[in-house]
Structure 1
Amino acid sequence: MRKAFKYRLYPTKPQQKDLERTLSLCRHLYNAALQERRDAYKKAGKSVGLYQQKRYLPQIREELPQYKRAHSQVLQDVIHRVDKAFQGFFRRLKAKKGKAGYPRFKGQGRYDSFTFPQAYETGVKLQEGGRRVLLKVFPWRESSHGIGSVKVKLHRPLEGKIKTATVKREGEHWYIIFITEVDPKPLPPSEEAIGIDLGTNPHFLVTSEGEMVEAPRHFQKAEEKLAKAQRELSRKKKGKSGRKKARLKVAKLHRKIANQRRDFHHKVARKLVNAYGTIVHEDLNILALSRSYVAKGIHDAGWAQFLAILAYKAAAHRASGSVLAGRRVIKVDPKYTSQDCPVCGHREKKPLWVRAYTCPQCGALLHRDVAAAQNILAKAWTGPSGETPRAFPQGNTPRSPGL
């Protein structure tokens, strides 16, 4: 299986300029390849393919000396990105769902990474026990080793065999992302099952066992500071030096909020995957909800990102088509999960502000979100027609948590 490792780079000012020049060269090549495809189809009705464009690269490097300063495989990856953008466009066009999104030109500051597709063979080399990384952006010369040796912070050990390396700019910071090939490490088998109900405020997640994870509300906490920075940016005139500084300040705040949210999602998902063999959640239409009156809270909670991370961490323990650790993430129909009593099945519509209630049918004292999580788990267990599906390992029954 493949795994990503992201580390912070600390280039010197000359090295930073060289990295930015490389990004600029890649951006111009991307736009030129995109323009060639557009013109060929518009003027001659012909399509230009991936390998046809890659064959032009030696000629480009010969006629434009500045492209000799970039690694040949980095330039090949740029052509692959253009081809991938068109493949996505044609796929969306065929699916006929929403806008297909024709590939766009990359403006200045809109192209932020370049990739060494065979970093394990050429282009990137770790030095000094992982304290520095040698990047071959410029050609090898007797007096220079590429862009040079760049300081890197390996905050966690790099595992496996390096396959690709991507240098990425995020605001004022630089990072390197290694994709490595590692042997899967299965978790201990678990036959425990749990249902989770997602929320926005005050709880991000409530489990069928009654555990409540408080919503961190990162955006809400930083909203005042962000509004102040945004007002300062709006006062700056375009083209002035102060505007760039104000824009970077706003971007830095947004990046911090996104990083905090992602870190929180990873930690919560990891705890669930480590503890439970089966995790059940509602199959929510998050796109529609993000356009409703609760959109702000849903965006702050980041449901879509959390569910994607949860599914990834569960699937990361699968190899060769077999489940190594028995981790499963199951989606169920969200209808009536917050209206049904998990004890007797009585259905009663309640306003959202009612968080705890007593079932009029059986007298059970229920917390709305805990009851919803229990109903979510029960739906995966009983199935839509009341039969027992193949959702859980044989011999496993979900625990019946007490209220």
Structure 2
Amino acid sequence: MRRSFKFLLRPTGGQASALTQCLAELKEIRKADPDGQGRWSAGSQQQTLRRLDKAFTAFFRRGKTGRTPGFPRFKGKGRFDTVEWPATKNGATWDSQPHERQTRVYLLGIGHVRVHQHRSIKGTVKTISVKREGSRWYVIMSCDDVPAQPLPATGSVVGLDMGVVSLVTTSDGDHLTNPRHLAASADRLAGAQQNLARKRRGSKRRRKALARLAALHSKVRRQRLDHAHKAALTIVRAYDIIVHEDLRVANMTRSASGTIKQPGRNVAAKSGLNRSILDAGWGVFLTILAHKAESAGRELIAVNPASTSRTCARCGHSAQDNRVTQADFACTACGHTAHADENAAVNILRAGLALRESAEAA
């Protein structure tokens, strides 16, 4: 398996300044200034150009297939936050041995930078990336041949219904909380945003205000990521087969504002729902769940969520009136009542098991 290991870098002031310069330099600048650019890794600059080529290739492919092309956005020095070395010994070196703690990584043009390595690295390091997140720097090792860590079988299966009240509701009736980290920090974020708006563009005070706002958003992101890891690990440890909704979060959170000729309806309500969905972090959770399930040897099945929330798990009757409220389900045919999300999770589980049986029969 291929896995990435991310550690906090602790560069000195001079090293942080050199890393910032490294983010903005490209191969063309190297040609124009061979003496000044010779200290940077050619491999890292080539990797930057490969990422640029990949972005434009995807742009032209989307245009040819009739999809919205999405022209690649220019990234100035304030938006370009990652530099990557394609292999070890090509401007970056990580010499850690198995079960050994490495405290420094060597980066060409930067020097030996301290690393806060909180866990051991497994597999073979193939690429080394340095990423800037606000005022923090991280080193990311992408490794091949990472051994799986299968967990003992439990004999249990589960269906998962994603929500905004509870992040996950299982077919067993368990509810994993949604901490709503963004909502909890909304007042501080609003204050920081207002403070930023009052600052003059290009001023030193504006840069400081922007850094404070970015730090708040970074904290919310780390909190959401931490909760997603813990929730996914809880599920992976308890079940052998995990069935979840095949969600398209980007489509679900599109704006309802419409156009001038055809304005949208219930725009404010849709905007609030979109914010709640993004705050819950469904996409982050499902991505982490997939990685942990693969490593643990669990089977993950994604099913179409259509009608799962309005179909009775007891008799199979499907009707919009079955969903009495957001939380309550009452079948108009057989009278079955249940928590709406628990009822949906049971339907999701059944759909996943049926899909698995049909695949095995084929």
Hey, what's the Cα distance between the residues in 2 that align with 1:262 and 1:391? 35
TM-superposed CA distance for 1:4, in Å, is 0.6
Query: 1:120·1:163 contact (CA, 8 Å) conserved in 2?
Result: no
Q: Which residue of 2 aligns with 1:38?
A: none
Q: Residue 236 and residue 121 in structure 1: after superposition, are their counterparts in 2 closer, same or farther (change >3 A)?
A: closer
Amino acid at match of 1:381: L
Query: 2:122·2:147 contact (CA, 8 Å) conserved in 1?
Result: no
Query: 1:115·1:167 contact (CA, 8 Å) conserved in 2?
Result: yes
Q: Residue 345 and residue 236 in structure 1: after superposition, are their counterparts in 2 closer, same or farther (change >3 A)?
A: same
Hey, what's the Cα distance between the residues in 2 that align with 1:156 and 1:233? 38
Q: Which residue of 1 aligns with 2:133?
A: 170
Q: Residue 237 and residue 372 in structure 1: after superposition, are their counterparts in 2 closer, same or farther (change >3 A)?
A: same
Hey, what's the Cα distance between the residues in 1 that align with 2:92 and 2:291? 29
Q: Which residue of 1 aligns with 2:43?
A: 73
* Alignment partner of 1:8 is 2:8: yes
Hey, what's the Cα distance between the residues in 2 that align with 1:304 and 1:132? 33
Query: 1:120·1:164 contact (CA, 8 Å) conserved in 2?
Result: no
* Alignment partner of 1:270 is 2:249: no
* Alignment partner of 1:112 is 2:81: yes
Q: Which residue of 2 aligns with 1:144?
A: none
The CA deviation string for residues 116-139 of structure 1, in whole angstroms up to 9 with x for no partner, is 21126762235896453242322x
Query: 1:120·1:161 contact (CA, 8 Å) conserved in 2?
Result: no
Structure 2 residue runs without a partner (length 5+): 257-269
Hey, what's the Cα distance between the residues in 2 that align with 1:365 and 1:104? 50
Q: How does 1:6-45 map to 2 (within 5 A)?
A: 6-26=6-26, 29=27
Query: 2:84·2:127 contact (CA, 8 Å) conserved in 1?
Result: yes
Instruction: Report SS of the residue matched to 2:125.
Output: strand
Q: Residue 246 and residue 380 in structure 1: after superposition, are their counterparts in 2 closer, same or farther (change >3 A)?
A: same
Q: Which residue of 2 aligns with 1:49?
A: none
Q: How does 1:285-300 map to 2 (within 5 A)?
A: 285-291=248-254, 293=270, 294-300=273-279
Q: Which residue of 1 aligns with 2:267?
A: none
Aligned-pair identity in percent equals 37
TM-score (norm 2): 0.85
The CA deviation string for residues 8-35 of structure 1, in whole angstroms up to 9 with x for no partner, is 1111111111111222224xx4xx59xx
Q: Which moved more, 1:128-137 or 1:270-279?
A: 128-137
Query: 1:120·1:162 contact (CA, 8 Å) conserved in 2?
Result: no
* Equivalent position to 2:350, from 355, 363, 378: 378
Query: 1:380·1:391 contact (CA, 8 Å) conserved in 2?
Result: no
Q: Which residue of 2 aligns with 1:157?
A: 120
Work out which of the two has the higher radius of gyration on C-alpha atoms and give 1 or 2.
Answer: 1
Amino acid at match of 1:333: N
* Alignment partner of 1:85 is 2:55: yes
* Alignment partner of 1:136 is 2:107: yes
* Alignment partner of 1:333 is 2:293: no
Instruction: Report SS of the residue matched to 1:329.
Output: strand
Hey, what's the Cα distance between the residues in 1 that align with 2:13 and 2:107? 17
TM-superposed CA distance for 1:180, in Å, is 1.8
TM-score (norm 1): 0.77
Q: Which residue of 2 aligns with 1:256?
A: 219
Instruction: Report SS of the residue matched to 1:77.
Output: helix
* Alignment partner of 1:197 is 2:161: yes
Q: Which residue of 2 aligns with 1:229?
A: 192
Query: 1:116·1:124 contact (CA, 8 Å) conserved in 2?
Result: no
Query: 2:59·2:71 contact (CA, 8 Å) conserved in 1?
Result: yes
Following TM superposition, the consecutive aligned residue runs of length 4 or more in structure 1 with deviations greater than 6 angstroms are none
Q: Residue 370 and residue 120 in structure 1: after superposition, are their counterparts in 2 closer, same or farther (change >3 A)?
A: farther
* Equivalent position to 2:152, from 169, 188, 192: 188
* Equivalent position to 2:280, from 277, 281, 301: 301
Hey, what's the Cα distance between the residues in 2 that align with 1:173 and 1:267? 23
Query: 1:7·1:176 contact (CA, 8 Å) conserved in 2?
Result: yes
Q: Residue 122 and residue 340 in structure 1: after superposition, are their counterparts in 2 closer, same or farther (change >3 A)?
A: same
The CA deviation string for residues 235-283 of structure 1, in whole angstroms up to 9 with x for no partner, is 1111211100000111111111111111211221222223222211223
